[in-house]
Amino acid sequence: MLHQWPVTARDALPLALWTAAEIEAATGGIASHDFQASGVEMDSRDVKPGDVFVALKGEAMDGHRFVEAAMAKGAVAAIVDRPVDVPHVLVKDTTQALHDLAHAARDRAVEAVRIGITGSVGKTGVKEAIFACLDRASRGAAHRSVRSYNNHVGVPLSLARMPARTKFGVFEMGMNHAGEIAPLAAHARPHVALITTIAPAHIENLGSLEAIADEKAQIYTGLVPGGVAIVPADSEWAERLAGHARACGAKVVTFGRSANADVRLLDAIPAAGGGSLVTADLGDRRICYQLAEPGEHWIVNSLGVIAAVRAAGGDLASAGLALAEMGGLKGRGARHTIAAAGGTALLIDESYNANPASMRATLKALAATTATRRIAVLGSMKELGDFAEAFHRQLAAPLAEANVDHAILVGDEMRALADELGKGGNPSLGKPPSFAHCETPAEAIAALGRFGLAGGDAVLVKGSNSVGLGRLVAHYTEAVRAGG
């Protein structure tokens, strides 16, 4: 029996993103019914009323098993490679159909300037900042990949969700292995491509920083003719990245503290609320803007944002306003006020990802945070391979330099740092923090309880997502929401 909807419910759906006929034309499929879809989704758990559900087949899961669940949540149809008893578009291959839909969305949004972002550190935050700047300038006509939809499925899905009226499209691209960035860039075909920085993330799979730089630079291969490649001038790999960009025929724009950067930091002073007041030289003009995000790494990130906004034809005044209003993202710098003995404490949520460069940057930001005591809950950094022990041991110095009072280390790889701290550290760096090593987030919560959370404390929570420190963040933030 075909799925039916009351007319009032269907009429209440958002504006159509895709019609059945448009999906047919894009994919070469055959629609069983006429319908209008307001969104595209591949996870039945996330389906919203009006979505078309793409039944993708992976190594471990077949989305066709969840077609009925998607329809029950309000999907108007499914894209499938076998007949089903619900409204659908029948295609030869659902993954290829998603790619076809992505390319059709990209090509029909004829006014959209597309910006691609990759890098070892900071790409999601920079993506969100560029989107905020361009969305304000275009009065809501900007589009972006949500969350970290940056892989072989997330990028085409994000493109397929782009409305035809879009003025700016902002897409994040990530990788774990060599050969993954170029296909993503080919999907998006950006007009502007930005690399945030090069650091030893995923070095287990790539083998060296040179290889990481070369792989990240593959984003420039997807640039449209005459596109702009934005390069971090302060990186030791800047000229290598610029060489890749020039080989692709791109115009190179650099950003950073370097004296020869095209978007160059002139000055940054602390601002109210923990951010910075930034002055930058753009060559033909100087601009001053307030940056809400704390930390020196965000000062440089903001220069990359300004470079991308300018290259995309965005409004710099609107960008300044957006940067002043940005808040931290869940798992990537969100700041929470939580209950503590004798008052409240600050919890900094960096629980989604970690590598040696981002660990150092966030510890430096913690050092600049006004607090009675500084506590660092650090989870293992994954995908470092044979480099893991050395990189974990090397965190002892940044911990001491940040004047961390207590460190809670979570995960097997963090045993190396615990061992280093147990030696007493380097006397020239000052007293190392007291510490506890834990295996699980639950043990980390108990350890934090033993150290005693007091009013005025600042607690940094950072680790690779698989360590699960988001559960520690939820333990304290949900207690606040519950009034506990």
Judgement on whether residues 406 and 439 belong to the same structural domain of the protein = yes
Domain with 340 in it: what CATH number? 3.90.190.20
Judgement on whether residues 114 and 56 belong to the same structural domain of the protein = no
pLDDT of residue 180: 95
DSSP-derived pairing of the beta strands 142-144 and 168-172: parallel
Q: Is 251 helix (H, G, I), strand (E, B) or coil?
A: strand
Is residue 458 in some structural domain? yes
| DSSP codes, 328-377 | PBTTBBEEEEEEEBTEEEEEEEETT---HHHHHHHHHHHHTS--SSEEEE
Is residue 205 in some structural domain? yes
Write out the residue range of the structural domain in which residue 385 sits: 334-481
pLDDT of residue 320: 95
How confident is the prediction along the chain (484 residues), in pLDDT tens digits per residue?
Answer: 333 333 333 344 457 999 999 999 999 999 999 999 999 999 999 999 999 999 999 888 899 999 999 999 999 999 999 999 999 999 999 999 999 999 999 999 999 999 999 999 889 999 999 999 999 989 999 999 987 789 999 999 999 999 999 999 999 999 988 999 999 999 999 999 999 999 887 787 788 999 999 999 999 999 999 999 999 999 999 999 999 999 999 999 999 999 999 999 999 998 877 789 999 999 999 999 999 988 889 999 999 999 999 999 999 999 999 999 987 778 888 889 999 999 999 999 999 888 898 899 899 989 989 899 999 999 999 989 889 999 999 999 999 999 999 999 999 999 999 999 988 755 555 677 899 999 999 999 999 999 989 999 999 999 999 999 999 999 999 855 544 4
Q: What is the pTM of this model?
A: 0.84
CA 120 – CA 20 distance, rounded (Å): 39
Structure-block tokens of residue 444: 């980390």
With contact defined as beta carbons under 8 Å apart, do 169 and 116 qualify?
no
Element (H, E) at 379: strand 374-379
What order of strands is seen across the sheet that includes strand 51-54? 30-31, 88-90, 77-80, 51-54, 39-41
Is residue 99 in some structural domain? no
Of the residues 94, 129, 161, the one at which a domain ends? 94
Predicted confidence (pLDDT) per residue in 314-338, tens digit: 999 999 999 999 877 788 888 899 9
Judgement on whether residues 121 and 63 belong to the same structural domain of the protein = no
Judgement on whether residues 132 and 261 belong to the same structural domain of the protein = yes
pLDDT of residue 59: 80
pLDDT of residue 14: 55
pLDDT of residue 430: 61
CA 131 – CA 125 distance, rounded (Å): 10
Domain with 181 in it: what CATH number? 3.40.1190.10
Domain with 72 in it: what CATH number? 3.40.1390.10
**Alpha helix (H) residue ranges in 63-172:** 67-72, 94-108, 123-137, 154-160
Of the residues 46, 68, 94, the one at which a domain ends? 94
CA 483 to chain centre: 30
Is residue 102 in some structural domain? no
Judgement on whether residues 293 and 424 belong to the same structural domain of the protein = no
With contact defined as beta carbons under 8 Å apart, do 112 and 135 qualify?
no
Phi first, then psi, for residue 402 (nearest 5°) are: -85, 0
Judgement on whether residues 435 and 358 belong to the same structural domain of the protein = yes
pLDDT of residue 266: 97
Residue whose structure tokens are 């000062």: 299
Of the residues 66, 94, 122, the one at which a domain ends? 94
pLDDT of residue 158: 97
Phi first, then psi, for residue 280 (nearest 5°) are: -130, 150
Judgement on whether residues 43 and 175 belong to the same structural domain of the protein = no
Judgement on whether residues 187 and 216 belong to the same structural domain of the protein = yes
Q: How many domains does the chain have?
A: 3
Judgement on whether residues 321 and 339 belong to the same structural domain of the protein = no
Judgement on whether residues 144 and 162 belong to the same structural domain of the protein = yes
Residue whose structure tokens are 């009429």: 11
**Nearest alpha carbon to residue 113 among 91, 69, 143:** 143
Judgement on whether residues 236 and 342 belong to the same structural domain of the protein = no
Judgement on whether residues 343 and 417 belong to the same structural domain of the protein = yes
CA 228 – CA 217 distance, rounded (Å): 13
